[in-house]
Structure 1
Amino acid sequence: MPPTRWAVLGPGAISGDFAVGLRASQHGVLHAVGSSSAERAAAFAHAHGADAAGTYDEILARDDVDAVYVGTVHTTHADLAIRALEAGKAVLCEKPASPTIADVERMLEAAARMRRPFLEAFKTRFGPFAQTLRDLAARGELGALARFEGARGSAATTRTGRLFDPELAGGAILDIGCYPLALAIDLAAAAGEPIDAPEYRRFEAEPVGGVDGTASAELAFGRVTAMIATSVVQDLPRVVTVRFAEAEVVLPNAWGNRTESASRLIVRRDGRERVIEVPTVQPMAAEADAVSLALAEGRLEVPQMPWSHTRAAARVLTDWRAAALAR
């Protein structure tokens, strides 16, 4: 298959990580960079070896771009992704796809209408670690999946910028609370539980400057209870516990990082402990390659993060954040 020619939209920090990760890709190359500032785009292109740079409109008008990575702030995702899809490009959109379920539905409608792949960039969905967890939930060898307990939180060094700007949909829920939520959805779906109509049991939040600084949620996907916490003002334990009827699986670090996926699972059963070590992947390269394969095979969705999971996450994030901001 010919290499996928990627354009980055939004030359920020996470886009830089994507450009570096793309070097490990099997099927893609960085070809172009778009920005609201042509000068910033040119500087990013020079730093990462892209052949072309320009404004968003200039890059989306090019016929030598196959796919785009949207790495801008949350509130601009929907507009850029829809413009890219309508320009005939596949889209890898940084998580969360958008702050509201309504905008996510618009994005998916555009992808379906234009027959172009769309993937929400949850890098934690890719590689042997994620697949091992799905297999444990699906096979039932540990009994029925019963409970998920996970958190992701870190104290920001300053309380300024995007994370603390209400106009840019700042706050913990959208920025990092989406990670444990997406993992709970993945495991519940693998276990055969419904994910499209969760039962909301509790939403809590502590606002900081108009955004959710710390938040927690208890909800249920069918028979699976999910306990989730997140924060941008305090560090939270990275350990995730997945409880089954006959055992529990402890993930010392479920999230990995932007260069390497997680690799270690601990299964505790009948007073014994079994450690599972799996190979890692470059997660940003893996998600890019998943889009390339979808393009080559004529698919609109990627199995590791199907649209039903994007919808499910967007629905909970929308409602959780509305409850948090109503306080």
Structure 2
Amino acid sequence: MIRWGILGCGNIARRFAQGLGHVADATLAAVWNRNTDKADAFAREFGGAAYASLEGLLKSDVDAVYIATPHTSHARLAIQALAAGKHVLCEKPAAISATELETVLACARKHERLFMEAMKPPFYPLYRKLREHLALDPVGPVGFVRAGFANPGVPREHMLWDPEMAGGSLLDIGIYSAFLAVDWLGPVRDVQVLGRLDGGVDAFASVNARHERGIAQLYSGIDLAGSGDALLSGPAGHIVLHEKWWNPVRATIHYADGRKVELEAPMTGSGLNYETAHFGALIKEGQLESPVVTHDHSRAMIALVDAARAGLGLVYPFED
């Protein structure tokens, strides 16, 4: 049984806790939040012990922690947890820059603990089913990826509008599109970006990226409306991942010979249970890196976002 501790009590932490009920060999043992009342309420609802201090949780007998706090705290909390001997599943983005990420990965190597960015799409049944189908009935090597999403409903008081919290679209929904491009096309080689800054964050970004094996067109926004589907193109056909593709349950493969194949695979639980089960299996096997969301995957994703931010001239106040 993998004993989990959760850092943070927001919406994504709730989804993670709900998902644990669908993982046979996992249990919620501890939770911490800066607001102790929230931690107490979370523990009453989902189980485990509420800790008044992070240090107290890290001294407990939890095997792994899930970091579900704001972006700016991810690297710091991951380093503290790894140094305390805990395995770390860190909500995306794993760090707000490539420099931060390398510090985290160096700490994981030093303390010989498993670290993985919580990038959920590749663990969904649909995504795995698509990979398996294409291995038998390919569209050829994917050479183009188009993906994006823009949410016009982000209220101005939300942290995504706060530059001190590393707000904006790229590090939030944009990191998913970066994953999709990296997963199918490999590391990024160069990036062109157009976008719009508002109040010190990227309100909208449109990215063209040349990767090792193709081209990606990606967009993200927090004040416009945009669909959440994705396109993967090869010489013998193309695939549509239907919205919202980062919680993939349906895909359509259009072959150049006129065939059309529909794939469906509904999710169970909260959707986060798939990555949690994978992570637990890696712990039991003594692995220090996921073969699905590798450290190089995380490096390539944040490298793409770093390049896009640089192109927009987006520097957060705490980076000056």
TM-score bucket of the superposed structures, by smaller chain = over 0.9
> Structure 1 CA distance, aligned partners of 2:313 and 2:161?
13
Shift of residue 37, structure 1, vs aligned partner:
3.1
Which of 254, 264, 273 is the matching residue for 2:260? 273
Does the CA contact (< 8 Å) of 1:37 and 1:55 recur in 2? no
Q: SS of 1:97's equivalent?
A: coil
Counterpart Cα distance in 1 of 2:287 and 2:33: 28
Work out the CA distance in 2 between the residues paired with 1:110 and 1:27. Answer: 27
Cα 1:52–1:230 change in 2 (3 A) is same
**Secondary structure at the residue paired with 2:223?**
coil
Match of 1:250, SS state, is strand
Contact 2:150 2:225 in 1 (8 A): yes
Q: Give TM-score, length-normalised by structure 2.
A: 0.92
The Cα of 1:49 is off from its aligned counterpart by 1.6
1:301 to 286, 289, 301: 289
Deviation, structure 1 residue 120: 0.5
Partner of 2:304: 316
C-alpha distance in 2 between matches for 1:188 and 1:157:
31
Q: Which runs of 5+ in 2 are unaligned?
A: 316-320
- AA at the equivalent of 1:273: K
Question: Matched residue pairs, number?
Answer: 313
Deviation per residue, 1:220-271 (Å, 9 max, x gap):
2123111101111112111211110111111122535xxxx42211111223
What TM-score results when the alignment is normalised by the length of structure 1? 0.90
Q: What code does the residue aligned with 1:223 have?
A: R
Specify which of 134, 141, 144 is matched with residue 144 of structure 1.
141
1:135 to partner: Cα distance: 4.4
Of 229, 236, 248, 2:238 maps to: 248
The whole-number CA distance in structure 1 between the counterparts of 2:11 and 2:45 is 12
1:140 CA drift (Å): 7.7
1:289 aligned to which of 277, 298, 320: 277
Does residue 1:237 correspond to 2:227, yes or no?
yes
Backbone CA RMSD of aligned residues: 1.9
CA distance in 2, matches of 1:75, 1:157: 19
- 2:153 is matched with 156
Could you say if the C-alpha distance between residues 287 and 223 of structure 1 is closer, same or farther in structure 2, counting changes exceeding 3 Å?
Answer: closer
Task: Determine the structure 2 residue equivalent to 1:192.
Answer: none
| Structure-to-structure mapping, 1:1-327, within 5 angstroms | 3-62=1-60, 64-135=61-132, 141-189=138-186, 195=187, 198-255=188-245, 261-269=247-255, 270-282=257-269, 283-326=271-314
Structure 1 CA distance for aligned equivalents of residues 241 and 26 of structure 2: 31
Partners of 1:33 and 1:45 within 8 A in 2: yes
Name the stretch that deviates more: 48-57 or 288-297. Answer: 48-57
1: CA distance, partners of 2:268 / 2:101: 28
- Paired AA for residue 158 in structure 1: P
CA deviation profile, 1:265-310 (whole Å, cap 9, x unmatched): 1111223322122353442111111121111100011222111101
Report the Cα distance in structure 1 between the residues aligned to 2:99 and 2:191, rounded to whole angstroms: 23
Contact 2:202 2:314 in 1 (8 A): no
1:150-179 deviation digits (Å, cap 9, x = unpaired) = 112211341122110000000000010111
Counterpart-to-counterpart distance in 2, 1:40 and 1:300: 32
